[in-house]
Amino acid sequence: MLVCPAMSSFAIGVDLGGTNLRIAAVQSDGTLLEKVTTGTQVSKGRDFVIGEMCDAIKGLSAKFSSKMELEGVGIGMPGIIDKRTGMLRESPNLPGWDEYPVRDDIQKRLGAPVILENDANVAAFGEGWLGAAKGYNEICMITLGTGVGGGIVLAGKIWQGMNGMAGEVGHITVEPDGHLCGCGNRGCVEQYASATAVMRMAREEIETGTAPGLAKLADGPNIEFSARAVFNLALQGDPSAKRVYDRMGRALGILLADLVNIMNLRMYVIGGGVSNGWQAFAPKMFEELKKRSMVYAATAPPDDDYSFGASAKVESKQLPPYRTIVTRALLGSDAGLYGAARLPLAHK
Amino acid sequence: MLVCPAMSSFAIGVDLGGTNLRIAAVQSDGTLLEKVTTGTQVSKGRDFVIGEMCDAIKGLSAKFSSKMELEGVGIGMPGIIDKRTGMLRESPNLPGWDEYPVRDDIQKRLGAPVILENDANVAAFGEGWLGAAKGYNEICMITLGTGVGGGIVLAGKIWQGMNGMAGEVGHITVEPDGHLCGCGNRGCVEQYASATAVMRMAREEIETGTAPGLAKLADGPNIEFSARAVFNLALQGDPSAKRVYDRMGRALGILLADLVNIMNLRMYVIGGGVSNGWQAFAPKMFEELKKRSMVYAATAPPDDDYSFGASAKVESKQLPPYRTIVTRALLGSDAGLYGAARLPLAHK
């Protein structure tokens, strides 16, 4: 029997979130073999969740390891991970996991090498492998979800910083006297560009008494009052909903200008559920970015066709060499899953 | 005759500023052999300045190359340098040098390899070799002068970014609706933490009519109205002069919090002439940094003995592994000179 060498190995990627637990077997060339999704039953405790996860990993592993070699298991999880010890240092979404030797426990149960990584970092790694930043070795990813996270890839590797805390872009100051953040700072970008922030800013608009559209949305019995609903209202031209997304765009523009001025990378990717509001926040975001970063102004793509993201540009061979690309993520919630699977494959 | 191998090579470092031209021969172990300082006669034109510089380089080179091998010439200069072409892309302080093949011209005149580099980058490289960040491979340097510049060293190498524009920390937004900057942005840190900014903020204080100390300073026939004079007044307890340096400290604290949150490096060095005001701006700077960066708060040195810089800490062997150090530069205006000399030595 002929075996194609490129297809002879695979890895297991795990996206362990506070709500969902997703596990995939991915070939070394990026082909998805199988994906399993379940809920993370955090309330049943750490041992239960690790047990469920390991059972699913073993199941997938057994299914494919007769045909190809398992390179290892990569796990993306929220929080700060100490890479030396394989312990979670802080993870508000996984109570009771702090200071527990997560990696050692999972390795023992699986009998296979395990790499832990922060979830925002693996998302950046995934988009750089198979998504919007495919082929780029220097990437900064901004993840807009309940909060705002980030991951940085330099020279093709996740940039850990001194102790794995690099890429905390959600806590960059964009309004020095602005809204108080859970981190202790005022005016973090997370306070203007997360799902939580959209809802707060919408409520602030309603409180002024000049936002009938949003007020109707909040009171409507049949409509969910969500960031998506505010986005839909903004698209329909509602002034107060547009103000909310303009504030988000401004905050993201300041953040991006800071990132471009400091790091001067080729590729900035914006992902996470709230990035679906791109059409509503991108115009203001690019306006601010251009105004606030001379580095961006000197390297911006010549066309301004950003309304649907700049992903098409990524594929173009006609780009001048020095262009700063800001674009939407392509892999959605699979970015973290692919990025996690890539960890053992890239670690070889 | 015995020749010590460590002493068998040297390099020439050049610090080409808009005002001063400084040239040094430096041994591969960092020992200064000789230093020459002259004025940069910018008004006499590019060819004249390059000629003078090359003559001085040749003089120093001839003097030492009988005893040891010349590794090459490194030149730090203001502006954006295209590393591929060896051309200056933008340099407001060197009019008429833009888009000129500076490196090729100098190499032709010298018959020796020449490396060009941005002046803030070489200062970071110098402090990392022989100064406050000695022994550190990951460094961010902030240079407070007429403007605010910066340089980043990662894995022991100057981080160029995509096209040499990385490290533009002076244009990080710290007040989104603040003072208009020459770069087009509002509220860049340069508008609050440069010598120019100190003078502007002092004048703003005087205009309020509530700053008799500063007003006297500005009107005094025998006193120079300078950033240093405002600093001295702040040290004497003058409230309005203190407000000026508090504003600088706040701006630098926001900048540092952003840098720490994004890059999570071990070492941040503050240099340039205005860093002599450390005692006046550092308390507010550290206060803001701690409040605004949870990454810093989690990794700050246990003691708060920052009033004289933290350079002593750098030498300490008792540091826990994960500490973020923010400290004053040690080499003063020689940082760029040593850093430039290090370019060909490190390039080997």
pLDDT in tens, A272-310: 999 999 999 999 999 999 999 999 998 998 765 454 444
Calculate how close chain B gets to A249, using CA atoms only, in Å.
13
DSSP for B243-272?
HHHHHHHHHHHHHHHHHHHHH--SEEEEES
Instruction: Give every CB contact of residue A304 below 8 A, 6+ residues apart in sequence.
Output: A286
Instruction: Give every CB contact of residue A340 below 8 A, 6+ residues apart in sequence.
Output: A13, A14, A15, A74, A75, A76, A117, A122, A126
| Ramachandran category for residue A153: left, alpha or beta (phi over 0 → left; psi -120 to 50 → alpha) | beta
Task: Report CA B298 to chain centroid distance, whole Å.
Answer: 27
Interchain pair B254, A292: CB under 8 A = no
Calculate how close chain A gets to B289, using CA atoms only, in Å.
9
Q: Which CATH class is domain A134-330?
A: alpha beta
Quick check: A63 and A25 in contact, CB under 8 A?
Answer: yes
**Residue B321 pLDDT exceeds 90:** no
Residues of chain A whose pLDDT is less than 70? 1-7, 303-321, 348
Confidence (pLDDT) at A85: 85
Which of B152, B163, B185 has the CB atom closest to A292's CB atom? B185
Quick check: B189 and B181 in contact, CB under 8 A?
Answer: no
- Chain A residues with CB inside 8 Å of B175's CB? 176
Q: Which of B260, B262, B263, B278 is nearest to B330 (CA)?
A: B278
Which of B150, B163, B292 has the CB atom closest to A173's CB atom? B292
Confidence (pLDDT) at A16: 92
Which of B160, B165, B324 has the CB atom closest to A295's CB atom? B165
- Chain A residues with CB inside 8 Å of B160's CB? 264
Which of A150, A163, A299 has the CB atom closest to B163's CB atom? A299
Interchain pair B262, A299: CB under 8 A = no
The values of phi and psi at residue A153, to 5°, are -115, 125
- Chain A residues with CB inside 8 Å of B297's CB? 184
Confidence (pLDDT) at B197: 97
Listed in order, the ranges of chain B carrying CATH 3.30.420.40 are: 5-127+336-347, 132-330
Q: What is the pLDDT of residues B48-58, one digit of tens each?
A: 999 999 999 99
The ipTM is: 0.92
Interchain pair A262, B324: CB under 8 A = no
Work out the pLDDT band at B2, boundaries 50, 70, 90: low
3.60.20.10, 3.50.50.60, 3.40.80.10, 3.30.420.40: which CATH number matches B132-330? 3.30.420.40
Confidence (pLDDT) at B320: 53
User: How do the residues of chain A divide into helix, strand and coil, expressed in percent and rounded to 5?
Assistant: 45, 20, 35
- Chain A residues with CB inside 8 Å of B254's CB? 173, 176
Quick check: A122 and A73 in contact, CB under 8 A?
Answer: no
Calculate how close chain A gets to B186, using CA atoms only, in Å.
7
pTM listed for this prediction: 0.92
Q: What is the pLDDT of residues B246-290, one digit of tens each?
A: 999 999 999 999 999 999 999 999 999 999 999 999 999 999 999
Interchain pair A262, B165: CB under 8 A = no
Q: What is the pLDDT of residues A48-73, one digit of tens each?
A: 999 999 999 999 999 999 999 999 99
Confidence (pLDDT) at B318: 43
Average per-residue pLDDT in chain B? 90
Q: In terms of CATH, what superfamily is A5-127+336-347?
A: ATPase, nucleotide binding domain (3.30.420.40)
Do β-strands B69-77 and B114-118 pair in parallel, antiparallel, or remain unpaired?
Answer: parallel
Work out the pLDDT band at B303, boundaries 50, 70, 90: low
- Chain A residues with CB inside 8 Å of B295's CB? 165, 168, 171
Which of B167, B299, B322 has the CB atom closest to A262's CB atom? B167
Q: DSSP assignment, residue A112?
A: S
- Output A259 or B308, whichever has higher pLDDT: A259
Interchain pair A264, B174: CB under 8 A = no
SS3 A231: helix
Confidence (pLDDT) at B150: 96
Which of A167, A257, A293 has the CB atom closest to B262's CB atom? A167
Interchain pair B168, A264: CB under 8 A = yes
Report the distance separating Cα B248 and Cα B230, nearest Å: 12
For the purposes of burial, counting CB atoms within 10 Å of the CB of B1, is it exposed (0-12), middle (13-18) or buried (19 or more)?
Answer: exposed
* Lowest-pLDDT choice from B109-123, B189-203, B233-247, B309-323: B309-323
Listed in order, the ranges of chain A carrying CATH 3.30.420.40 are: 5-127+336-347, 134-330
Neighbours of A183 (CB within 10 A): 21
Residue of A nearest to B292 (CA): A185
- Output B75 or B99, whichever has higher pLDDT: B75
Interchain pair B322, A266: CB under 8 A = no
